[in-house]
Amino acid sequence: MHSSEHLKSQLAAANRYADLIDERTLEYLNGRGISEEVAALYSLGTVTDPLAGHEGHVGWLSIPYITALGHCVGFKFRRLDDGKPKYGQPLGGTTHLYNVSDITKRSARIVITEGELDAVIVSGVLGMPAVGCPGVANWKAHYSRLFNGYDTVYVVGDNDLKEDGTNPGAEFNRRVASEVMNATIVNLPAGLDITDYYLQNGRDKTRRLLGITDESAVRG
Express each pLDDT in 55-90 by its tens digit. Answer: 999 999 999 999 999 999 999 999 999 899 999 999
Cβ-contact 159, 196 below 8 angstroms: no
Q: What is the pLDDT, as a whole number, of residue 219? A: 42
Residues 28 and 42: their CA atoms lie apart, in Å, by 15
Sheet holding 45-46, edge to edge: 45-46, 61-66, 72-78, 87-88
14-58 confidence digits (pLDDT tens): 999 999 999 999 999 999 999 999 999 999 999 999 999 999 999
pTM of this prediction exceeds 0.85:
yes
Q: What is the pLDDT, as a whole number, of residue 82? A: 86
Task: For residue 190, give every residue at least 6 positions away whose Cβ sits within 8 Å of its Cβ, in sequence order, or none.
Answer: 159, 161
- In this structure, what are the phi and psi dihedrals at residue 112, rounded to the nearest 5 degrees? -110, 115
84-135 confidence digits (pLDDT tens): 999 999 987 888 999 999 999 999 999 999 999 999 999 999 999 999 999 9
Task: For residue 197, give every residue at least 6 positions away whose Cβ sits within 8 Å of its Cβ, in sequence order, or none.
Answer: 188, 189, 206, 209
Q: Assign residue 149 a region (left: φ > 0; alpha: ψ between -120 and 50; beta: otherwise).
A: left
Q: What is the pLDDT, as a whole number, of residue 217? A: 45
Residues in the chain: 220
